């Protein structure tokens, strides 16, 4: 930028060309600032996830060998449990969704309820 400014001041670079280059550099700098902000956000998120994983592993190590599950242990692992309404009200033989959120990990989805990737034949 300094070079094109000097060239413009010395008359080596026309004003129109200087304005075009200056606008291009400003646009590129704005794009880079946005990219930097996004990358910093991603790094912060990764570091937060890593700290959460380390805390969860430390909790697992703390309660590695136990005979009885206590309330203290349960409270250490479980952040919250959400119990939803029954699928059919008034019926005893119906399904009811329950969500379990673990500390440091988030929502737990049992493997039997996780989406199964489709084969290429099934996708067609």
Within this chain, do residues 84 and 57 fall inside the same structural domain, yes or no? no
Q: Note if the pTM is more than 0.85.
A: no
Question: Does the pLDDT value for residue 22 go beyond 90?
Answer: no
Within this chain, do residues 32 and 57 fall inside the same structural domain, yes or no? yes
Within this chain, do residues 74 and 54 fall inside the same structural domain, yes or no? no
Number of domains present in the structure of the chain: 2
Mean pLDDT of all residues belonging to the chain = 84
What's residue 38's pLDDT?
A: 95
What's residue 31's pLDDT?
A: 95
Within this chain, do residues 83 and 111 fall inside the same structural domain, yes or no? yes
From 26, 46, 62, give the residue that closes a domain.
Answer: 62
Within this chain, do residues 1 and 38 fall inside the same structural domain, yes or no? yes
Question: Does the pLDDT value for residue 4 go beyond 80?
Answer: no
User: Which structural domain, as residue segments, surrounds residue 52?
Assistant: 1-62
CA–centroid distance for 106 within its chain: 11
Within this chain, do residues 53 and 91 fall inside the same structural domain, yes or no? no
Give first-to-last CA distance, the chain, whole Å: 55
Percentage of the chain beyond pLDDT 90 is 20
* CA–CA dist 34, 25 (Å, integer): 14
Within this chain, do residues 71 and 114 fall inside the same structural domain, yes or no? yes
Residue range 8-13: mean pLDDT, rounded: 75
Within this chain, do residues 45 and 79 fall inside the same structural domain, yes or no? no
What's residue 36's pLDDT?
A: 96
Within this chain, do residues 58 and 1 fall inside the same structural domain, yes or no? yes
What's residue 53's pLDDT?
A: 84
Percentage of the chain beyond pLDDT 70 is 98
Query: Residue by residue, what is the 3-state secondary structure of the chain?
Result: CHHHHHHHHCCCCCHHHHHHHHHHHHHHHHHHHHHHHHHHHHHHHHHHHHHHHHHHHHHHHHCCCCCCCCHHHHHHHEEEEEEEEECCCCCCCCCEEEEEEECCCEEECCHHHCCCCCCHHHHC
* CA–CA dist 115, 109 (Å, integer): 10
Residue range 32-44: mean pLDDT, rounded: 95
Backbone angles phi, psi at 80, to 5 degrees: -160, 160
Within this chain, do residues 124 and 92 fall inside the same structural domain, yes or no? yes
What tens digit of pLDDT does each residue of 63-120 get?
888 888 888 888 888 899 999 888 787 777 888 888 999 888 888 888 777 777 777 8
């Amino acid at each position: 930028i300094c070079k094109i400014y000097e060239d413009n001041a010395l008359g080596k670079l026309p004003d129109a060309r200087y304005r075009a280059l200056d606008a291009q550099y400003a646009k590129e700098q704005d794009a880079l600032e946005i990219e930097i902000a996004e990358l910093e956000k991603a790094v912060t998120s990764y570091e937060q996830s890593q700290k959460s994983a380390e805390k969860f592993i430390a909790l697992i190590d703390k309660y590695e060998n136990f005979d009885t599950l206590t309330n203290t242990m349960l409270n250490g692992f479980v952040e919250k449990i959400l119990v939803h309404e029954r699928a059919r009200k008034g019926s005893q033989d119906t399904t009811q969704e329950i969500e379990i959120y673990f500390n440091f990990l988030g929502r737990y989805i049992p493997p039997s309820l996780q989406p199964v990737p489709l084969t290429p034949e099934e996708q067609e």
